[in-house]
């Protein structure tokens, strides 16, 4: 399967950039992970008139992950995407429209979408939030943390996945309040090692213009919009 980084900023984008949004493409199966600002525009750039989606997975309902869900609704209502579209989210109140087939995700939930298997894990954030492991038919897997602070159970949840796509919003541990809701760069690098993931992408980067620390782990990279990974 392939992962395309559509938007990597949070909680607001840089000029020309987008907030959390990632496309997982496994041939005939396409899943959008989160739909922060810019997601739909970037998808339409990639696919023009042939855009199709099997599901949208929302990690949580914060705007930098879900603000464009209503634009997808408009596209569905105007017949530009095939309805109903499956949407998984830990909170479904804002998804009650006929064009959505909304399903509440919960800790331990496992479900198939086309050729892919999804397994959700509740993570630690200010609102209900689900991380998700996505596994293809060959057993290759990706774990997306959504937004989360560090907690011990993450290691088991992430364990053995080929690629870790993780919230590394914080450059250091200086903001105690933020630490409850997001991980530091060092925590994500430690998670990759402890969970024995082959590679990590550090995402949900904070767009205040200050530099992130250089990465000492050659199996880890900062997210760059437009990058495609083959898993
Ligand atoms: Zn966020
Ligand atoms: Zn959030």
pLDDT tens for 50-61 read 899 999 999 999
pLDDT in tens, 9-47: 999 999 999 999 999 999 999 999 999 999 999 999 999
Ligand 2: centre distance to CA 98 (Å):
26
Ligand 2: centre distance to CA 62 (Å):
5
- CATH classification of the domain holding 10: 3.60.15.10
Q: To the nearest 10°, the Cα dihedral for 122, 128, 129, 134?
A: 60
**Residue range 184-188: average pLDDT?**
98
Q: Using CA atoms, how far apart are residues 146 and 201, in angstroms rounded to an integer?
A: 12
pTM to 2 decimals?
A: 0.97
Identify the pLDDT of residue 102: 98
Ligand 2: centre distance to CA 219 (Å):
26
pLDDT in tens, 61-117: 999 999 999 999 999 999 999 999 999 999 999 999 999 999 999 999 999 999 999
Ligand 2: centre distance to CA 66 (Å):
10
Ligand 2: centre distance to CA 50 (Å):
31
At 48, the pLDDT band (50, 70, 90 cuts) reads confident
Closest to 160 measured CA to CA, from 140, 190, 186? 140
**pLDDT at residue 49 above 90?**
no
How many domains are there within the chain? 1
Identify the pLDDT of residue 88: 98
Secondary element (H or E) of residue 157? helix 154-158
The boundaries of the domain holding residue 89 are 2-230
> Is residue 201 packed enough to be buried (19+ CB in 10 Å), middle (13-18) or exposed (0-12)?
buried
> Are the CB atoms for 65 and 146 separated by under 8 Å?
yes
Secondary element (H or E) of residue 57? strand 55-57
> Are the CB atoms for 125 and 181 separated by under 8 Å?
yes
Ligand 1: centre distance to CA 138 (Å):
31
Do the strands 141-144 and 163-167 form a parallel or antiparallel pair, or are they unpaired? parallel
Ligand 2: centre distance to CA 128 (Å):
9
């Amino acid at each position: 399967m392939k992962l395309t980084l559509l938007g990597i900023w949070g909680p607001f984008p840089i000029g020309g950039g987008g907030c959390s949004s990632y496309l997982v493409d496994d041939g005939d199966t396409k899943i959008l992970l989160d739909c922060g600002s810019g997601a739909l525009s970037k998808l339409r750039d990639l696919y023009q008139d042939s855009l199709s989606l099997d599901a949208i997975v929302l990690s949580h309902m914060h705007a930098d992950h879900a603000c464009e869900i209503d634009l997808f609704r408009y596209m569905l209502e105007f017949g530009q995407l095939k309805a109903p579209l499956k949407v998984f989210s830990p909170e479904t109140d804002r998804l009650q429209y006929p064009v959505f087939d909304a399903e509440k995700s919960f800790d331990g939930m496992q479900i198939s979408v086309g050729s892919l298997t999804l397994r959700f894990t509740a993570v630690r954030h200010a609102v209900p939030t689900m991380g998700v492991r996505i596994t293809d038919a060959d057993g290759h897997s990706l774990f997306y943390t959504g937004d989360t602070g560090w907690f011990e159970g993450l290691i088991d949840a992430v364990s053995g996945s080929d690629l870790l796509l993780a919230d590394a919003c914080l450059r250091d541990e200086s903001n105690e309040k933020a630490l409850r809701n997001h991980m530091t760069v060092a925590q994500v690098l430690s998670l990759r090692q402890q969970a024995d993931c082959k590679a990590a992408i550090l995402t949900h980067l904070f767009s205040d213009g200050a530099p992130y620390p250089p990465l000492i782990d050659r199996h880890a990279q900062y997210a760059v919009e437009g990058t495609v990974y083959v898993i």
